[in-house]
Amino acid sequence: METTSDPAGERDGLRRYPALPVWVVEDHQEVLPFIYRAIGSKHLPASDISFVHFDSHPDLLIPVNMPADTVFDKETLFGELSIENWIMPAVYAGHFSHIVWLHPTWAQQIREGKHHFAVGKDISTTTIRVTSTDHYFLSDGLYVTEDQLENQKPLQLDVITVKPYKLSNNEEEKDAVSSAKKPKLALEDAENTAPTNCDSRSEGLGKDAVTQTRGQTCLGPSCSRSPESQDPQPAISTGEILDTLKKGGAFVLDIDLDFFSVKNPFKEMFTQEEYKILQQLYQFKKPGINLTEEDLVDCVDTRIHQLEDLEATFADLCDGDDEETVQKWASNPGMESLVPLVQSLKKRMEVPDYEMVHQAGLTCDYSELPHHISTEQEIEDLIKSVYYLLKNLPKPTLVTIARSSLDDYCPSEQVDTIQEKVLDVLRSLYGTLDIHLVYSAESSPS
């Protein structure tokens, strides 16, 4: 692709696209090759890229058994990734150093605020692991102590709730998006909102926003510091993100259309009773407070064994789900409810897909997958929020969009409308776009 001459581009050694490329894929991990292509063509730097990620899901897990060195063989890497684990390998490869996860009010998988931790190679398993003690990573068995990691890459992760743009009364009219001049995030500038203690609700959310149910956001100086697994994270100001992005230069804007409306597809695959049993079987027992590193390692070991046992159980059931096999596994501690689960599944289907049952179970740890099918008005309010937020950020180097509709995360009856609204926002902000509709194998200039 030709590029125009640009003095700034010459100064930082990066090439410039004549029109902003927008890659639209179906499954989210399919965007990574286009980001790598931009690195290869020197439109993006090879390291210290900021990644601004609008999504109802963090997508920050890691392929559990993948050797860390796989990241240096990109074709093999792309074949190993799936929708929940495609970002962190790019962190370990040294490409992303700052991730901003912007999520709607119904998605609360990672504690709000700033997170600083290392991503590296576990010296005992040679897999990619992290030093973060957030429940999101603990529940997947991804935490290790710092002395267990080699080739460490520091990561700054900012987690921010985006409030729907809404003017519902006079008080909010003054407050919301500063009369449409700036994005209204869950966390506003600390100096403007700092209370004197910790509140389990983000001060900047306003009356119509969802109260945070897990963790706390601390904006005040009186909050004491404790290990990361329990400590409220410091507030993030919009200005800080702007400063980081401006300092860092090139950044990728990434949007999953399920940010605007999302389903938990597993809820439709299973009855309420079956889903409840899966939650019991796969439940992650959250660690207590003030734990030592040793306690955290024990917690992760216990969790890994629990998940390995469950994987072995359902793999065995794939080979045969006769009563004797089911009883054998159900006799293990905490597995009693396997019997009614299998009975219920076999009543409803001739051959239950036990691999899918296990995949569904893995999403039932300390919280459910987000499920919020938005109204047209809610979608419109979030579209406005995204517009005002992006208006305050520099222009990205490229945009990646995931539809997430074939696997039923973004409702199929809404996805095309949402996509068109998002493209309209991008056009109004950035002018001519170079749109690649990868999911339909078409490309069209806009």
Query: Mind listing the pLDDT tens digit for each residue in 296-324?
Result: 999 999 999 999 999 999 999 999 999 99
pLDDT of residue 94: 96
Q: What is the pTM of this model?
A: 0.82
Provide mean pLDDT across the span 121-139: 96
Distance CA 176, CA 238 (A): 14
pLDDT of residue 248: 58
167 falls in which pLDDT band (50, 70, 90)? low
Percent of the chain with pLDDT over 90: 70
Strand partners, 343: none
Q: Are 358 and 310 contacting, i.e. CB atoms less than 8 angstroms apart?
A: yes
pLDDT of residue 368: 85
- Shortest CA distance to 124 belongs to which of 182, 195, 68? 68
189 falls in which pLDDT band (50, 70, 90)? very low
Query: Mind listing the pLDDT tens digit for each residue in 104-127?
Result: 999 999 999 999 999 999 999 999
Distance CA 215, CA 234 (A): 12
Does position 209 have pLDDT exceeding 50, yes or no?
no
What is the residue-averaged pLDDT of the chain? 82
Q: What is the token pair recorded at 376?
A: 């047209």
